[in-house]
Amino acid sequence: MKIKVGFGFDVHQLKAGHPFILGGVHLDHHKGAFGHSDADVLVHAICDALLGAANLGDIGHHFKNTDEQWRGISSLILLKECVKMLKEKGFSINNIDAMLCLEAPKINPHVPAMKKHIALAMNIDEEDISIKATTNETMGFIGREEGVVAYAVCLIQKER
């Protein structure tokens, strides 16, 4: 059995008048993430972790922000495509561990719904997904609510 680890990172600006989507869940907040797709930093970090573990490049390589077919698209669709690419290379996904860094809103009440959406998109158990959140203690662009950051690691495997 071959086991591989992947790491993903994503960051998006927060701007008034934009929806705030994290883990496929629309959060009620006065600012939202700005980007070409739905700017779901959590899902983007997971995509990069998966793609990296399978040596498939990164999310920007497969879903260019200059391609209009991806404008406004749900990042869960991108995640499904990433999972499909892994399966085509013979990999299965063991688990995901993700961390969000933002000042507000509070994430904990939304974690079960996020896990449900991500698990459905990846066709894995919710128990194989961990989502945590922290603040930046009001420091820097995160502390000023100018942006949101997500980190993710994954473990994938394939039979030799």
**63 assigned binding-site residue:** yes
Supply φ then ψ for residue 46, to 5 degrees. Answer: -65, -45
**48 assigned binding-site residue:** no
Supply φ then ψ for residue 135, to 5 degrees. Answer: -100, 175
**141 assigned binding-site residue:** yes
**60 assigned binding-site residue:** yes
- Specify whether the CB–CB gap between 74 and 38 falls below 8 A: yes
Residue 108 neighbours by CB distance under 10 Å: 10
**137 assigned binding-site residue:** yes
**37 assigned binding-site residue:** yes
**35 assigned binding-site residue:** no
**136 assigned binding-site residue:** yes
Alpha-carbon distances of 22 from 4, 47, 50, 57, rounded to whole Å: 26, 13, 18, 23
**20 assigned binding-site residue:** no
Q: What is the DSSP secondary-structure string of 44-87?
A: HHHHHHHHHHTT---HHHHS-TT-GGGTT--HHHHHHHHHHHHH
**66 assigned binding-site residue:** yes
**67 assigned binding-site residue:** yes
Query: Token match 């698990």: residue?
Result: 119
Known binding positions:
10-12, 36-37, 44, 58-60, 63-67, 134-137, 141, 144
Known binding positions for a divalent metal cation:
10, 12, 44
